[in-house]
Chain A
Amino acid sequence: MLLIIGIVVIIIVVFFLLLYWGFYNRIIRMENRIDNSWAQIDVQLRRRAELIPNLMETVKGYMKHEKEVLENVTKARSALMSAKSPQENINADNMLTGALKSLFAVAENYPDLKANQNFLQLQDELTNTENKIAYSRQHFNDSVLAFNNTIETFPGMWFAKRMGKKTREMLQIPDAAREVPKVKF
């Protein structure tokens, strides 16, 4: 009789150990995913900042009279380089996205510029970088959602408490980023 009880207890203990092992690894992996995607966002933002000087050089000659549009881009880039808090970062980032949108909208009026191979390449690269930034943010939010779901639902929440894990915050993309910038002619 005692033997049977002993075996049952051992089985239950082993079961919970396996469960703990499974959830521990899962929670760690999800957290790493979040950190990884955060780093990704940074990489893409940096890449975009690097492309800007090239772009400015290329369009300078063609768009001599579009002083305001060009200055907006330069101003936005400086703001981004000097941003200190995450909020400043996001604001400056939005400014830059908007300024670039205006620049490309205005470039539509310069057929010579549009035919320039360099310009085309830079436009493709910038679109690529913008998309990668957007998808990195999306993946970050997806990872945070998956993580939060795991540590807030049963039974993950038990293990999360023992591991000292707290829910993470998703990135709020301000609506300003989605507005179509008004271009003055």
Chain B
Amino acid sequence: MEKKLLVEDHIKRNKRLTVIVCTLMALLFMAVVLAFGFYFFGNIYIALIFAVPIALAYVTITYSISVQSILSAAKARPANPKIREEKLLIMRVEEMSIAAGLPMPKVYVQESDQINAFATGKNPKESVICTTTGALKLLNQEELEGVIAHEMSHIKNYDIRLATITIGVVGAIALISEIVFWSLLWGGRGRGRNDGNAIIMVLAILLIILAPIFARLTYLAISRRREYLADSTGAYLSRNPEGLAKALEKIKASVYNTKEKPKGSKTVAPLYIANPFKSMSAESAWSTHPPIDERIKRLRSM
């Protein structure tokens, strides 16, 4: 009984921290919008008329990027039940979807010697789980189950939707920032500049220029938090944190030591269980994923 409580504590903690970081992001966005309005119009409210549609448009466009394009970029194909390893994969996904109480996602496979997996899809009803052929060869069923539990958790927790919206907001902030930047460059005179409030103007400009960096850092913090959440939810679903821990140890060896170039665009990196584009030394505030050793440690403490 004690072990179970610890996993649920992890889940609660991760969910709480997500709310905090998302609030930060929302506040940052609001600050940028108000600063933008102040700069151009000397009036913060008019900005909302412009900035909110920009943000909405950005989010809608990125949200409607089809699952198909992600799968094509990764060169993934549907799992073939005639191949035993892939049939076993389909079985494990089926079992995990029962544990999660979700409809069964489509199962895809990506040709790669690396061990990796990702999940994608707008909502649980139209979702996809994809693993690499390397994962099927190198992981045993317990470890594979751990990986699938992690991916299923991303679907269950609506992480894909969260990531898409957050990236949309980051993009909107970057876009607004660029508009201001170019206007500065061309020496345009925003009405706000004619007001005597020089200090506030400077602050507003500074905020807008720096905002994209903060937005990106916040997005990455959210991404890492959701990875921890997927780890703990996955452990709860499989009732076996050790499975994923063992898989992560094998992943540590495979992803970070191979010279193979990963396929697919960089934007899908956060959907993978381990970022296939980064080397281990690049883990920091700029990572989409928490350090693997820390993830293993937390899983083993559950």
Our verdict on whether A and B bind, yes or no, reads: yes
> Looking at the complex, which one of A33, A124, A132 makes contact with B98 (CB distance below 8 Å)?
A132
- Contact: A138 with B239, CB < 8 Å? yes
Q: What is the bound-complex CA distance between A142 and B99, given in angstroms?
A: 9
**CA of A177 to CA of B119, assembled, Å:** 34
Q: In the complex the two chains form, is A139's CB within 8 Å of B99's CB? A: yes
**Interface contact A132-B239, CB-CB below 8 Å:** no
A102 sits at the interface (CB 8 A):
no
Residues of B74-108 whose CB lies within 8 A of A: 84, 87-88, 91, 94-96, 98-101
CA distance A127 to B88 in the complex (A): 10
Measured CA separation A142–B96 after assembly (Å): 14
Cross-chain contact B101 with A37 (CB below 8 angstroms)? yes
- Which residues of A105-151 have CB atoms within 8 Å of chain B's CB atoms? 120, 124, 127-128, 131-132, 135-136, 138-139, 142-143
Q: Check A124/B95 contact, CB under 8 A, given A139-B101, A143-B101.
A: no
Indicate whether A40 reaches chain B with its CB closer than 8 angstroms: yes
Bound-state CA distance A132–B101 (Å) is: 12
Bound form: Cα–Cα A142–B239 in Å: 12
Number of interface residues of A (CB under 8 A): 15
Which chain B residues lie closer than 8 Å to A120 at the CB level?
A: 84
Could you say which residues of chain B place their CB within 8 Å of the CB of A127? 91
Give A114 Cβ to nearest chain B Cβ, in Å: 14
Q: List residues of chain B with CB within 8 A of the CB of A132.
A: 94-95, 98
B95 engages A135 (CB within 8 Å): yes
Q: Please tell me which one of the listed residues A33, A128, A136, A138 contacts residue B91 in the complex, with CB atoms under 8 A apart.
A: A128
Do residues B239 and A131 form an inter-chain contact, with CB atoms below 8 A?
A: no
Task: Tell me which residues across on chain A come within 8 A of B91, comparing CB atoms.
Answer: 124, 127-128, 131
User: In the bound complex, what is the Cα–Cα distance between A128 and B81 (angstroms)?
Assistant: 14
A120 to B98, CA, bound (A): 24
B95-A128 in contact (CB<8A): yes
- A contact residues around B99 at 8 Å (CB): 135, 138-139
Residue of A33, A37, A128, A143 touching B94 (CB-CB under 8 A): A128
Chain B residues, CB < 8 A from A136:
98
Q: Which residue of B87, B88, B101 is within 8 Å of A142 (Cβ)?
A: B101
A128 to B91, CA, bound (A): 6
- Expressed in whole angstroms, the Cα–Cα distance for A142 and B156 within the complex equals 14
The residue from B95, B96, B101 contacting A33, defined by CB atoms under 8 A apart: B101
Residue of A nearest to B239 (CB): A138
Determine how close the nearest CB of chain A comes to the CB of B252; give it in whole angstroms: 27
- A30 CB → nearest B CB, Å: 11
The reply to whether B88 and A135 contact each other, CB–CB distance below 8 Å, is no
Contacts of B95 in A (CB 8 A): 128, 131-132, 135
Binary interface encoding of chain A residues 140-169 relative to chain B, with 1 for a CB under 8 A from any of its CBs, else 0: 001100000000000000000000000000
Are the C-beta atoms of A135 and B96 separated by less than 8 Å? Answer: yes
CB atoms of A135 and B98 under 8 A apart: yes
User: For residue B96, which residue of chain A has the nearest CB?
Assistant: A135
A-side contacts of B84, CB under 8 Å? 120, 124
Give which listed residue, A40, A124, A139, A143, contacts B87 with CB less than 8 A: A124
Of the candidates B96, B99, B239, the one having the most CB atoms from chain A within 10 angstroms of its own CB is B99
Enumerate chain A residues within 8 angstroms of B98, measured Cβ to Cβ. 40, 132, 135-136, 139
Q: Which of A6-42 contact B (CB under 8 A)?
A: 33, 37, 40
Q: Mark B92-135, 1 if CB is under 8 A from A, else 0.
A: 00111011110000000000000000000000000000000000
Cα(A124)–Cα(B96), bound, Å:
16
A124–B101 CB distance below 8 A? no
Closest Cβ–Cβ distance, residue A38 to chain B (whole Å): 12
> For A138, what are the chain B residues with a Cβ–Cβ distance below 8 Å?
99, 239
Interface of B toward A, CB cutoff 8 Å: 84, 87-88, 91, 94-96, 98-101, 239
Shortest beta-carbon contacts, A-B, top 6: A135-B99, A128-B91, A135-B98, A131-B95, A139-B101, A135-B95
11 additional A-B residue pairs with CB within 8 Å, beyond A139-B98, A139-B99, A139-B100: A37-B101, A40-B98, A120-B84, A124-B87, A124-B88, A131-B91, A132-B98, A135-B95, A135-B96, A135-B99, A136-B98
28 contacts between A and B (CB under 8 A): A33-B101, A37-B101, A40-B98, A120-B84, A124-B84, A124-B87, A124-B88, A124-B91, A127-B91, A128-B91, A128-B94, A128-B95, A131-B91, A131-B95, A132-B94, A132-B95, A135-B95, A135-B96, A135-B99, A136-B98, A138-B99, A138-B239, A139-B98, A139-B99, A139-B100, A139-B101, A142-B101, A143-B101
Q: Which residues of A contact B (CB under 8 A)?
A: 33, 37, 40, 120, 124, 127-128, 131-132, 135-136, 138-139, 142-143
